[in-house]
């Protein structure tokens, strides 16, 4: 009986989750095959690395967004908060001349504080996530401009900061395998995110809240506090994205960032996470982000104008959610 209880669950479980991942993953592979055939320039080590590098920032933002979206919430502020984190890192390192690691911690903390404030506004003051994070989006945008004096902050005095994104630890270890650190950091962040979501109490409550917030509350779970924790986690990922961004551009650009939140949300949704909460995976989000980059990159190689690339991505989102709905209805 005992063996049956657990055994019965295992094959069914892994098979189903494999199937759920397959759709997004399958489309990614199809896209890669398509572009490889369509253009000989696509499947080159340098181009693949380029795709991964361009995924890193949006990807890390999307990882953070996955957490709040699984609670049934949303965070519209991640784009501009990311910018604010870049600017704060710039202030610590360039303006105040502090060591690089302080700048990194400062950037992460800025993200955490923004997430914390959104979380408090949502769960203590009962402001809907959409509104609370919309407000945070504008606050962060404004603050980034005010603090930087609307001018970019360059990291010319600390060349090591650039290495965070553009250096290649892997390339140093394995000659010829020049994968930039930003990509490495993205994948490590994804693993950390996945472990948080599937193996820890934070993740379990994250799904419970998204599945039925009131029932979770009535089970004695301090839902308010956990939601604050989850928004703060999103903030930390946003901070990380901000550091990667600044390091990649070797400067903090205070006017960038607006609109990134929507691309991050798009990646999460293409990856199969439900906007109504309770369902989603980190692997899905990584694949979702990759699908978007592969599309943009492939279309560019095929000389499709940038404006049209955006149109295509829009249709892909519609298609992804439609296919996902079909699958759910069958299940």
Partner 1 sequence: MEHPLVKMEGIVKNFAGVHALKECEFELRSGEVHALVGENGAGKSTMMKVLTGVYQKDQGSTFYKGKKVDITDTATAQKLGISMIHQELNLSQDLTVAQNIFIGREPRKAIRLFLDDKEMNRKTELLLKQMNLDISPTMKVSELTVAKQQMVEIIKAMSYESQVLIMDEPTAALSDSEIDDLFRMIEQLKLKGVGIVYISHRMAELKRITDRITVMRDGVYINTMQTADVSIDRIIAMMVGREIYQPAKSERNTGGKSETVLQVKGLMRRNTLQDISFSLQKGEILGIAGLIGAGRTELARAIFGADQIDAGEIFIHDQKVKITGPHQAVKHGIGYLSEDRKHLGCLLDMDVKTNVVLATMNDFTKGLGWINNNRISETSIKIVEELTVKTPSIGQKLKFLSGGNQQKVILGKWLTRDCDILIFDEPTRGIDIGAKSEIYKLLESLVAQGKSIIMISSELPEILRISHRIIVMCEGRITGEFNNDDDITQEQIMACATNRTSSAKTEREE
Residues at the interface with partner 1 (CB under 8 A): 1-2, 4-6, 8-10, 12-13, 199-202, 204-205, 207-208, 211-212, 214-222, 224, 278-279
* Residue 156 dihedral angles phi and psi, to the nearest 5°: -60, -30
Sign of the alpha-carbon torsion through 133, 137, 142, 143: positive
Q: Which is nearer to partner 1, 44 or 328 (CB)?
A: 328
Measured distance CA(40)–CA(140) in Å, rounded: 43
Q: Which is nearer to partner 1, 5 or 318 (CB)?
A: 5
Measured distance CA(246)–CA(155) in Å, rounded: 9
Q: Which is nearer to partner 1, 198 or 255 (CB)?
A: 198
- Of 89, 150, 143, 153, the residue nearest 117 (C-alpha): 143
Query: Closest distance between partner 1 and the C-beta of residue 9, in Å?
Result: 3
Query: Closest distance between partner 1 and the C-beta of residue 268, in Å?
Result: 18
Q: Determine contact, residues 230/202, Cβ cutoff 8 Å.
A: yes
Q: Which is nearer to partner 1, 136 or 197 (CB)?
A: 197
Q: Which is nearer to partner 1, 152 or 284 (CB)?
A: 284
Query: Closest distance between partner 1 and the C-beta of residue 260, in Å?
Result: 29
- Of 39, 3, 9, the residue nearest 300 (C-alpha): 39
Q: Which is nearer to partner 1, 106 or 210 (CB)?
A: 210
Q: Find tokens 């009962």 and name the residue.
A: 126
Q: Which is nearer to partner 1, 150 or 198 (CB)?
A: 198
Query: Closest distance between partner 1 and the C-beta of residue 35, in Å?
Result: 37
Query: Closest distance between partner 1 and the C-beta of residue 214, in Å?
Result: 6
CA atoms within 13 A on the CB side of 186: 30
Query: Closest distance between partner 1 and the C-beta of residue 61, in Å?
Result: 24
Phi/psi region, residue 138 (left: phi>0; alpha: psi -120 to 50; beta: rest), is alpha
**Three-state SS for 274?**
coil
Measured distance CA(69)–CA(209) in Å, rounded: 11
Torsion of CA 167, 173, 178, 184, to 10 degrees: -60
Secondary structure element (H or E) that encloses residue 153, with its range: strand 153-154
Query: Closest distance between partner 1 and the C-beta of residue 135, in Å?
Result: 26
Burial of 287 (0-12, 13-18, 19+ CB in 10 A): buried
How far is Cα of residue 62 from the mean position of the Cα atoms in its chain?
A: 2
Q: Which is nearer to partner 1, 120 or 221 (CB)?
A: 221
Query: Closest distance between partner 1 and the C-beta of residue 273, in Å?
Result: 14
């Amino acid at each position: 009986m005992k063996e049956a209880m657990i055994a019965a669950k295992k094959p069914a479980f892994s098979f189903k989750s494999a199937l759920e991942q397959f759709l997004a993953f399958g489309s990614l592979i199809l896209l890669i095959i398509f572009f490889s055939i369509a253009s000989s320039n696509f499947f080159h080590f340098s181009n693949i690395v380029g795709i991964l590098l361009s995924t890193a920032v949006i990807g890390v933002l999307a990882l953070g967004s996955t957490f709040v979206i699984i609670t049934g919430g949303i965070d519209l502020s991640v784009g501009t908060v990311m910018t604010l984190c870049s600017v704060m890192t710039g202030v610590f390192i360039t303006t105040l001349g502090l060591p690089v690691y302080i700048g990194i911690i400062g950037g992460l903390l800025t993200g955490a504080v923004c997430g914390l404030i959104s979380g408090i506004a949502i769960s203590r003051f009962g402001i809907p996530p959409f509104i609370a994070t919309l407000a945070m989006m504008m606050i962060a945008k404004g603050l980034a401009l005010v603090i930087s004096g609307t001018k970019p902050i360059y990291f010319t005095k600390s060349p090591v900061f650039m290495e965070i994104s553009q250096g290649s630890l892997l390339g140093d270890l394995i000659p010829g395998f020049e994968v930039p650190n930003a990509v490495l950091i993205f994948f490590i962040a994804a693993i950390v995110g996945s472990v948080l979501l599937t193996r820890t109490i934070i993740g379990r409550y994250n799904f419970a809240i998204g599945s039925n917030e009131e029932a979770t509350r009535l089970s004695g779970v301090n839902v308010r506090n956990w939601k604050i924790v989850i928004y703060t986690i999103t903030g930390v990922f946003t901070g990380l994205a901000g550091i990667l961004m600044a390091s990649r551009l070797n400067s903090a650009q205070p006017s960038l960032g607006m609109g990134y939140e929507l691309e991050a949300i798009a990646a999460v949704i293409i990856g199969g996470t439900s906007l109504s909460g309770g369902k989603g995976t980190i692997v899905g989000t990584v694949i979702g982000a990759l699908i978007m980059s592969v599309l943009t990159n492939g279309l560019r190689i095929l000389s499709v104008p940038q404006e049209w690339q955006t149109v295509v991505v829009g249709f892909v989102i519609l298609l992804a959610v439609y296919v996902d709905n079909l699958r759910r209805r069958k299940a």
